[in-house]
């Protein structure tokens, strides 16, 4: 039994769920929500903070600031509390209430942005707010998860080797795409591995991360309203886009079998099952990454009134939840050059 003195020192990294009995296809789901931050974002947060400390950027009077839809904000709140830093999270109105309350319980300050940016998302507005804060006071240190190499390096050093050690015969890996830190870290690792692994990115319909027209997205976690600066598409073999209705039905299907996962997991599992059903390759070894658990989504994707108000009364039709029915959409054309955030703002 481990004995720790800092919350970020513990992370269960070798727990997998075989979804064969639920979906009829063998898919091993790597569960990244079993740590004190509750998500995979603990890895990137720890890497970026420790890097800033090594470089002498973080000082006793520094104020960490970051734009986050939720999970990274919680991870940084926890690490900041443990290390004695102040932390300010800039989030938006889609952030789950429980997530905002959790950050505040850990001693962080939370600023909520409600204005949409030009791509029908909140990211541009959040980044503008962070830039203004940094310009107003040189104590602010912006780690910038969108451009910080520590974001993908964390998964190159941890997540991907963990999967490789457990599944030496891995054939395909499904990774959700947000900032693409997890995706790029895993893709770079497996490009150098002893056998080919197909890297499949799973994105939300309405995200412009891989091109296409922006659209409404109400579930935080995956998807971007601009092209992720960390993304190198040459490392990705295929992209699958998932409708939010399918995300919700997949989450509820998992919950009916006792597994309460978050929206990002529902998206990745839905996309992975669609891909596996189309391939129908016997004996394939497939792994998907589950970023977090479902408790923080109880007032959104697990709340009937919220779902029906946004997606209609048929969203939880028992037959559709049971079969995980999907709505196919053609891959849209790429947009013009999207906005790109700045590199990390680091006051010395």
| Residues tagged active-site | 41, 264
Q: Give the contacts of 159 (CB within 8 A, at least 6 positions apart).
A: 13, 30, 32, 40, 43, 182, 185, 186, 289
162: Cα within 13 Å, side-chain hemisphere: 23
Structure tokens at 120: 């029908």
Tell me the β-bridge partners of 66. Answer: 89
Q: Cα–Cα distance between 53 and 49 in angstroms, integer?
A: 6
Structure tokens at 141: 């240190």
Q: Cα–Cα distance between 74 and 337 in angstroms, integer?
A: 31
Q: Cα–Cα distance between 337 and 284 in angstroms, integer?
A: 37
Helix axes 304-311, 244-255, angle to 10 degrees: 160
């Amino acid at each position: 039994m481990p004995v720790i003195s800092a919350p970020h020192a513990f992370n269960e990294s070798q727990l997998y769920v075989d979804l064969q009995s639920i979906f009829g296809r063998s898919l091993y789901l790597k569960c990244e929500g079993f740590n004190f931050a509750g998500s995979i974002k603990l890895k990137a947060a720890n890497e970026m903070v420790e890097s800033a400390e090594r470089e002498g950027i973080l000082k006793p009077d520094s104020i960490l600031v970051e734009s986050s839809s939720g999970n990274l904000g919680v991870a940084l709140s926890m690490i900041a509390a443990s290390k004695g830093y102040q932390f300010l999270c800039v989030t938006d109105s889609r952030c789950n209430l429980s997530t905002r309350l959790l950050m505040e319980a850990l001693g962080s300050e939370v600023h909520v942005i409600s204005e949409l940016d030009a791509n029908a998302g909140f990211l541009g507005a959040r980044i503008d707010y962070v830039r203004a804060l940094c310009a107003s006071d040189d104590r602010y240190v912006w780690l910038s998860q969108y451009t910080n190499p520590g974001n993908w390096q964390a998964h190159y050093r941890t997540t991907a080797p963990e999967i490789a050690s457990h599944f030496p015969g891995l054939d395909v890996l499904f990774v959700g795409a947000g900032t693409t830190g997890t995706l790029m870290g895993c893709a770079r690792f497996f490009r150098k591995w002893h056998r080919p692994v197909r890297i499949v990115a799973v994105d939300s319909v309405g995200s412009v991360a891989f091109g296409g027209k922006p659209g409404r997205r109400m579930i935080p976690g995956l998807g971007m309203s601009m092209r992720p600066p960390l993304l190198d598409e040459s490392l990705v073999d295929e992209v699958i886009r998932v409708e939010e209705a399918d995300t919700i039905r997949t989450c509820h299907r998992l919950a009916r079998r006792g597994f309460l996962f978050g929206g990002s997991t529902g998206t990745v599992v839905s996309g992975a099952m669609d891909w596996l059903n189309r391939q129908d390759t016997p004996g394939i070894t497939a792994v998907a990454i589950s970023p977090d658990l479902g408790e923080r989504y109880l007032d959104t994707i697990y709340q009937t009134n919220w779902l029906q108000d946004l997606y209609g009364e048929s969203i939880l039709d028992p037959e559709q939840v049971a079969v995980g029915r999907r709505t196919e959409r053609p891959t849209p054309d790429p947009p013009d050059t999207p906005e790109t955030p700045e590199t990390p703002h680091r006051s010395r």
